[in-house]
A and B are shown apart, each in its own frame.
Chain A
């Protein structure tokens, strides 16, 4: 213990010889010398008290002390030194050796014997104590070591990393449970294995090189593919080094899961980059300060930067000055609230042009819901905007053209109306004025006919009849033409008209519809319709007139009139509130040829020259009915008769 405390500083300051001397036990002799010197000084100082007798008594303690501290041999030396000192300084003759008295010799002999005995006893006692101390010290050290080993063992057993110890040949000497579990082996199996047994074959070539590199005692990290007992492979990260005793120690961590996760992350990143690159939207990811951490190819191309320059890119710098302030404010607001980013603004592209951009983005949050970054798209909507603008222009142009067209139509319609008015006036005047000469022709022919009544010659009378007939025909033509032009021009005010009352009135008052000339039956209830009374009278008088007229010579016309309610489906202008009625006029007359049917309502279309007619009547019927909002039609078979119909809206509220 003493040695441990004093040895290192002394060795350094005094040098090897002193240390050597001390190591050889010279200190013991120094103790003897010191003790004797101390006793001699004490005896010198206390000489008065002791007088001259009992000199040796003073030196017994020095011998005893030396023997106890420095051992038996030092005690013997102290005994001899004490004799010399006592004999030289204190026993007569002083300042010389050897007594001159017997008693002196006796005393000396006793002292030497006593000193030798004391030294021997002290030496024995000292050795026993030393052995005892050393044993205790060893026990303490062993306990400490045991504790440390236990702690170390616990640690080794507990860690999830595998810990292996092997010799330089690669044979395993120790392994912890985690290591066994990793390899899927029992401890005994591991201890029978070598490196090549547990490593995947492709790893064997670099094994020797790696072991060699451990020689520097430093920790080396490397990744290896291990093969478990069941043949499956895992990737392990190894921290290995060579221990001072030459054994190899390795700490192994199974990083398969981490590797898989890293691969999955890389895969995911590859995927989202692929998506980002494949679509034409500028995809961006930025941190909370607005620094871009990623931007897709199309975005980089637009603003003319590389992926590396991306983080340095400040999108505020490419914003149009007019948009910048509002966009920045909106961005700050977005970051504050975590709400979605949705804006339209202009970027200066690499081409120097302003590109309208539709920017959208959302915050990306971590598991705790904290926003960690923002991601979104910048869509270059230049084309859209151009199209929009073109569309808007086209629309304006169209509207302008429309307006022009409408103006033109209005102008032309007005002109046309004037023209039609003039024409109508012209035709009216013409037809009207034609009636006066006709009247004269007829009037005077009649008078001449009366005068000629008694004439003997038949010819003049026959000629006069022909003049009359022609005049009458011309008059009818003129009248019909007048009626038609009036029906086209005249305003038809629509009102409720009871067709039953109308028709009965006509049958009563028209001479050609009298029972003596025709059998006309009104069947069932005839409806009240929305129409114009004068118009309907024209229609019915024409239809009935035709029905009466177009029969085989000598036959009495048979006419049937009835009404049929109609659904909305076939009506010309259907509305929920409207109901329609069809009024049929059926005759048993000569009918209409099939090829004639489609043209029967056309102007100046006539079926037969054997019957009087202008070809205006049915055209008038159609025109008037159309102007009342209805429509007309006919079913007919030649030789069997015709069925004409008018379809009209029923009266309001009926």
Chain B
């Protein structure tokens, strides 16, 4: 596992998570995907808190893929929190949401998201998303060969 970049995917929707896992499996190029199901868990993971102390198992992510509409703590709160942590000021955050609202997009960018990707309406298109993410944000990052 060491040496391979990790992507943290924050998603409460089981189907989306499954589709994404499949997409990573085929298009991930050795990138590790870690999944958390809500905003609070995301913050816990990122801060190495309760349950996520082991950085071997839960490495600091090279990219955070963040859904917005999350239970407990909203995606925007997670983003805001991240940008307040020196450790995560520069970590790329890609919002992955089904929202097509301009105000959501604007707000995400204002809060420091690097990109806003609308969830595709086709399962197969998740692969394209993963491919584009790699290209844009993780090029040159070591994946599993």
Contact = CB atoms under 8 A, between A and B. Distances in A.
B90 interface: no
Contacts, number: 51
Contacts of A438: 121
Q: From DSSP, what is the main secondary structure of chain B's interface residues?
A: loop
Nearest to A440: B15
A534 B106 CA distance: 15
Contact of B122 (A428, A442, A486, A534): A442
Interface in A41-82: none
Given A432-B69, A435-B121, A438-B121, A443 B19 contact: yes
A439 B14 CA distance: 11
Nearest to B15: A440
Interface stretch (B1-9, B44-52, B53-61, B94-102): B94-102
Interface residues of A, number: 21
A449 to B, nearest CB: 10
A436 B13 contact: yes
A482 interface: yes
A28 B98 CA distance: 178
Contacts of B100: 479, 482
B69 A443 contact: no
Interface string B78-101: 000000000000000000001111
B123 A444 contact: yes
Contacts of A428: 101
B102 A490 contact: yes
A447 interface: yes
Interface in A471-486: 472, 475, 479, 482, 486
B22 interface: yes
B124 A446 contact: yes
Contact of B99 (A432, A446, A490): A432
Interface in B98-123: 98-102, 119-123
A298 to B, nearest CB: 76
A443 B122 contact: yes
A439 B121 contact: yes
B10 to A, nearest CB: 15
Contact of B126 (A432, A443, A534): A443
Contact of B16 (A439, A490, A534): A439
A432 B19 CA distance: 18
B15 A444 contact: yes
Interface in A389-432: 428, 432
Contacts of B99: 432
Nearest to A444: B123
Among all A-B residue pairs, the 3 with the closest Cβ atoms = A443-B123, A440-B15, A446-B123
Interface of A: 428, 432, 435-440, 442-447, 472, 475, 479, 482, 486, 490, 534
